[in-house]
Chains A and B, each alone.
Chain A
Amino acid sequence: MNKIKNKKKTQSFSTDVIIVVIIILFGTLFLVANKINTVESKTIGEVQSQASDDSDIIYSSLKDSKVIDSKGVIDANKLLALNDVQLKEELGIKSDFAITFEKNGKLVKIGNKNCIGSTNIIVNGQICE
């Protein structure tokens, strides 16, 4: 009789341990997933802020390399010679980017190009490069 009681106690203890382990596992999983989710879903503000910083870095780089001179004048030949992939690496920017020009909402071309930058971006039907 005692043997049966002890056996039942042992079984009950094992079940409790398994339940606790499962709860801990689920808890850990939830925390990890939650953490990943938090990292991936940046707020709109954060995205805009990061993009704004990246744009400023690119703009400063264009001024440093005299693509834009001190009076704000664009040197189209220098701009056309830019390599966006190289520039991204040099500036440590992760996102693709493209540079376009407009006046009163209308496209202004650089040479015969609509844009300079990543081939992932299209301006007025023309893939940037």
Chain B
Amino acid sequence: MIKKIFTSLLTLFILISLVHARSNLLECSFKNSCASNEKEMFAANGNFYQTSPSENKNNVLSSNVKLTSDVNYNRSLCCKINNVDLNGRFDITHESGAEKSCISGIDPIMYFTSSTNARVGFDFDPLFNKSHYSNKLCMNLPKEISKFHIEIDNDSLKKNLGFTCLYKTNSLVNGLISSCDSKYLDNNLNLGEYKYTVWAKLYESLDSLKCNDDCTSKLDGRVYSDCGSKINFCSNVPPSCDGSLYGSWVKLDENNNGVIDSDETTEIQCSAPWSNYRYQVFTDQKLNVNSQKGVCSSLVKKQYSVMYENELINMNIYICED
């Protein structure tokens, strides 16, 4: 009887450990100095919100970043892998030249013009000219980790998909950096936070994932595109679905042709056949109507109220007067 209880408890402990390890595989936070089991990713000026409750949340200033800490850049982003074996074999490196990938084969985390002036890596902009940058921040990972992935998002959706928030920034190019929970006062009036949140996620290797036939992992029941390396049926699972629940809708970062969804209104359903799309019809874009050059001398608008998607909205008919 005691043996049975002991075995059950041990199994439960292992299961809890596995789930815990998967959900928090990468852990990062800003500190004055990194602990011995942590690696410094980059340093920022210390004059921004720290997690201590005694500090005034509203008094937030943030800074550009530097590859290594010094007197001015005295707040380090410290990261660790929540697995004792794996963490010992994980490293952050600085490599010169931005044109090539990191030696490890992983996309750079950040590009730098010198040791400062950083731009968020994982370049999503087709016009991005890497030749302007001379240094890059790289990561070496143990073979048990199959992928390191960064997502840039302005909401907390990624938190539910197993991503770790690294930092927030007001601009992806040489922007100001703040910690994930910092807020600032806009002209001492509106409490706000930086527009972009940079998320990162480590993916364990295929063997650790233990893929089901439907492209979900036996460990957490979530969808992983990496299952496509072993299961043909999963070869067209879009990366946007990584970490999501089977059948859920997620924002599509790019379509199957690699085209980025710039206005971020397309969603994909994370279930076979992996091609069921829908569009978020309500946008944050201010309506802007104009005509092809020289065609309409004026555009005359008339407005009607209609129901769409269970909401009362305005339908505008624009007549082109030429």
Q: What is A's interface to B at a CB cutoff of 8 Å?
A: 47-48, 50-52, 54-56, 58-59, 68, 71-74, 76, 95-103, 105-112, 115, 117-125, 127
Contact = CB atoms under 8 A, between A and B. Distances in A.
Given A50-B319, A97-B319, A99-B317, 20 more contacts: A51-B319, A52-B300, A54-B317, A54-B319, A55-B319, A56-B302, A76-B308, A95-B320, A95-B321, A98-B320, A99-B315, A101-B306, A101-B313, A101-B315, A102-B313, A106-B282, A107-B283, A121-B292, A122-B291, A127-B292
Given A55-B317, A96-B322, A102 B300 contact: no
B219 interface: no
Contacts of A120: 291-292, 295-296, 320
Given A106-B284, A120-B295, A120-B296, A98 B289 contact: yes
B304 interface: yes
Contact of B307 (A55, A56, A72, A109): A72
A118 B290 CA distance: 12
Contacts of B305: 72
Considering residues A47, A109, A111, which has the most beta carbons from chain B within 10 angstroms of its beta carbon? Answer: A109
Given A72-B307, A76-B308, A109 B300 contact: no
B147 to A, nearest CB: 30
5 contacts: A71-B307, A72-B307, A109-B279, A119-B292, A123-B289
Interface of B: 265-266, 279-292, 295-296, 298-300, 302, 304-308, 311, 313-322
Contact of A124 (B287, B306, B307, B319): B287
Contacts, number: 135
Contacts of B304: 59
A56 B203 CA distance: 57
A124 B288 contact: yes
A96 B317 contact: no
A121 B298 contact: no
